[in-house]
């Protein structure tokens, strides 16, 4: 059994039979009264985010989560197949667990997968990836300002908004958390 003082960003707590990932935590020591820990937690299965406060030193249960580096191989029906880069074992991860990360997965993409008791919990993508624009309408002459945007389809099939000057075949850097265009990438 651990205490609330052991909570860190990324630690996984087991509360009421469910697993919660710690997004943020803050130790608070008010002038009066006892110290407490304010946290922001995400339910691993539903994705729901809640704020929860623990008294300092309160007993909590930390779940054992192993994070390992994997390489994306291919999609097999609804599952995504990854290879462990340490021992070359392959695991299948359900589409529900992969979630929005599927919008940025290309073959050979390296990701970190959190596993609890043999069950993949979630994927951690790099903060940004470089993908090629496979389809977008041409920008009109004079539409070279940063103000306007247009839809563009990436090589993974995901659609994002890009500036008007971006053309088909351009490699772009995309934020994996927000699907935002970050800039062009020169080869």
Q: Give the model confidence (pLDDT) of 136-182 as tens digits.
A: 887 665 555 556 788 889 888 889 888 888 888 889 999 888 888 88
Average predicted confidence (pLDDT) for the chain: 85
Domain range annotation of the chain: 2-60, 66-124, 128-184
- Please report, for residues 109, 111, 158, the alpha-carbon distance to residue 133 in angstroms, rounded to integers and kept in the order given: 17, 22, 10
What are the tens digits of pLDDT across the range 69-94? 999 999 888 899 999 988 888 999 88
* pLDDT for res 146: 53
Residue 4 has what pLDDT?
A: 80
Query: Is 2-60 in CATH node 3.40.50.300?
Result: no
The rounded Cα 44 to chain-centroid distance in angstroms is: 12
Burial label for 14, CB within 10 Å (0-12, 13-18, 19+), is: middle
Class of domain 128-184: mainly beta
**How many other C-beta atoms are found inside a 10 Å radius of the C-beta of residue 187?**
4
Give pLDDT tens digits for 26-54: 988 888 888 898 999 988 877 788 999 98
Q: What is the mean pLDDT of residues 96-119?
A: 86
Q: Which CATH superfamily is domain 66-124 in?
A: Nucleic acid-binding proteins (2.40.50.140)
Asked if domains 2-60 and 128-184 share a fold, the reply is no
Torsion from C-alpha of 59, 65, 67, 72, nearest 10 degrees: -140
Report pLDDT for 187. Answer: 65
- pTM tops 0.75, yes or no: no
């Amino acid at each position: 059994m651990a205490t609330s003082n052991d909570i860190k960003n990324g630690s996984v707590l087991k509360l009421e039979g469910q697993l919660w990932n710690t997004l943020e935590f803050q130790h608070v020591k008010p002038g009066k009264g006892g110290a407490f820990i304010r946290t922001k937690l995400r339910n691993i299965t539903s994705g729901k985010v809640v704020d929860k406060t623990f008294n300092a030193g309160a007993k909590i249960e930390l779940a054992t989560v192993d994070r390992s580096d994997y390489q994306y191989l291919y999609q097999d029906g609804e599952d995504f197949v990854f290879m462990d880069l340490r021992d070359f074992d392959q695991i299948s991860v359900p589409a529900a667990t992969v979630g929005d990360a599927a919008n940025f997965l290309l073959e050979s993409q390296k990701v970190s997968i959190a596993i609890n008791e043999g069950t993949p919990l979630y994927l951690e993508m790099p903060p940004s990836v470089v993908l090629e624009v496979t389809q977008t309408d041409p920008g009109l002459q004079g539409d070279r300002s940063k103000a306007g945007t247009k839809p563009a389809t990436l090589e993974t099939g995901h659609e994002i908004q890009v500036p008007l000057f971006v053309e088909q075949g351009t490699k772009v850097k995309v934020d994996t958390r927000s699907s935002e265009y970050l800039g062009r990438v020169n080869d």
